Amino acid sequence: MKIVITGGHGFLGQKLCDQLLDKGITLPSGDHHTVSSLVLSDIQASAAKPADSRVTSVVGDSSDPAVLEQLIDAEVNAVFHLAAVVSGQAEQEFDVGMRVNLDGTRHLLERCKALGTQPLVVFASSTAVYGGALPETLTDQTTPVPQSSYGTQKLMGEMLVNDLSRKGYIDGRALRLPTVVVRPGKPNAAASSFASGIIREPMNGESANCPVPASTRLWITSPACVIDNILHSTSIPAELLGDSRSVALPGISVTVQTMLDTLEQVVGTDARQRVTLDYDPVIDAIVKTWPGNIATERADALGFTGDTDFSSIVRQHQQLN
């Protein structure tokens, strides 16, 4: 089984790589396969490349058709498309976001179509596809009306995945990921970066700032849970997905205040005191368009799972660091 992960040197890409090498992949037919070849593609190399002979790294822009032709050959059975320009950058650099998030997805799907083998494609979308005047709790019937360039680009990618699946060119899944907390490493240009930073940095003895009001409600998931759900998506038969290949994944709904209270309870008062609340209207303008709570009945019925509470997410990160 040959698999490609775009954005493969990113945090989720590396975690997904490790799980695929360890556990293999279950296809919609129910057949389980070990991974014989795993190609990681990213814009830059990583020093953390797995020491496994099955892994190959391709450094290059996966929105470039020439790179995609090298990356996705006739032997590829499945593609996990994680590569993207993050929300804050996509909003500030519109043309870059369109080139990478929309055109890059379109070129990747065209390459998969050209294989003529109907490969499995898992597209990492986002709950940023929602926006506007949202109900307190979204449902599977809520119409996506994104209010950011990132959300718009992700929604257009979903539509492409859906249409190419309808035509039989690919067997696609578009997963609307909640905000993933707690991510390791350093802050990035994502508008949601603070959600990990206000936990990660104080746990490391560093200061952190929260740019949105403490009353802001977020829809979040843990790294372990989102990887489990990405892997689970490959096993779902197309007939169960029906007319829509887009699925909003389970998460938990928490306010920033609850996150900070939990930090204090689990880690201590000193950690909580390292977090400041310095309002940033640019970040808040993006974040407040995102849903804070989603009733994921469809995802639940398809066998996706969610975290139980935020304290378990904090403890999970604590144990890993």
- Taking every pair of C-alpha atoms in the chain, what is the biggest distance, in angstroms? 58
Q: Which residue of the set 130, 150, 169, 279 is catalytic?
A: 150
Active site annotation includes 279: no
CA–CA separation, 319 vs 214, rounded Å? 26
CA–CA separation, 125 vs 175, rounded Å? 5
Among residues 204, 199, 184, 169, the alpha carbon closest in space to that of 263 is found at: 199
Under 8 Å between Cβ of 173 and 119: no
Quick check: bond before 182 cis, omega within 30? yes
CA–CA separation, 25 vs 18, rounded Å? 12
Among residues 221, 216, 224, the alpha carbon closest in space to that of 249 is found at: 221
Under 8 Å between Cβ of 247 and 48: no
Residues taking part in catalysis: 150
